[in-house]
Amino acid sequence: MQHKVEICGVNTAKLKVLKNEETQELLRRAKAGDQRAREELISGNLRLVLSVIQRFVNRGENADDLFQVGCIGLIKAIDNFNTDLDVKFSTYGVPMIIGEIRRYLRDNSTMRVSRAMRDTAYRVLQAKESYMAQHQKEPTVEEIASMLGLKREEVVFALDAILEPVSLYEPVYSDSGDTICVMDQVRDSRNTDEMWLEHIALKEAVSHLNERERKILAMRFFQGKTQMEVSNEIGISQAQVSRLEKTALRQIRKEM
Into how many domains does the chain fold?
3
Which position has the higher pLDDT, 106 or 237? Answer: 237
Residue at 82 is within a domain: yes
Determine the pLDDT at residue 2: 46
Residues 134, 97 share a domain? no
Residues 94 and 20 in one domain: yes
Report which of residues 117 and 249 the model is more confident about. 249
Let me know the angle formed at the C-alpha of 239 by 235 and 242, rounded to the nearest 5 degrees: 95
Q: Which amino acid is at 39?
A: E
Q: Is residue 11 domain-shared with residue 97, that is, in the same domain?
A: yes
pLDDT in tens, 130-139: 888 888 888 8
Q: Which residues of 106-139 are buried (b: 16+ CB within 10 A; e: fewer)?
A: beeeeeebeeeebebbebbbebbbebbbeebeeb
pTM score over 0.85: no
pLDDT tens-digit series, residues 218-236: 999 888 889 999 999 999 9
Q: Are residues 128 and 45 in the same domain?
A: no
Read off the pLDDT band of 1 (50, 70, 90). Answer: very low
Do 75 and 7 share a structural domain?
A: yes
Cβ burial, residue 165 (10 Å; 0-12/13-18/19+): exposed
CATH code (residue 53):
1.20.120.1810
Residue 177 within a domain: no
Within-domain flag for 172 = no
Residue 228 dihedral angles phi and psi, to the nearest 5°: -65, -40
Yes or no: say if 245 and 216 are a contact pair by the CB < 8 Å rule.
yes
- Show the domain range for 200: 193-255
| CATH number of the structural domain spanning residue 239 | 1.10.10.10
- Last-in-domain residue among 108, 140, 156: 108
Per residue in 45-91, pLDDT (tens digit) is 888 888 888 877 666 677 888 888 999 999 999 998 888 887 888 88
CA 163 to CA 216: how far, in whole Å?
46
Among candidate residues 166, 181, 201, the one where a domain is terminated: 166
Q: Band of the pLDDT at 107, cuts 50, 70, 90?
A: confident
Looking at the fold, whether 117 and 103 belong to one and the same domain comes out as: no
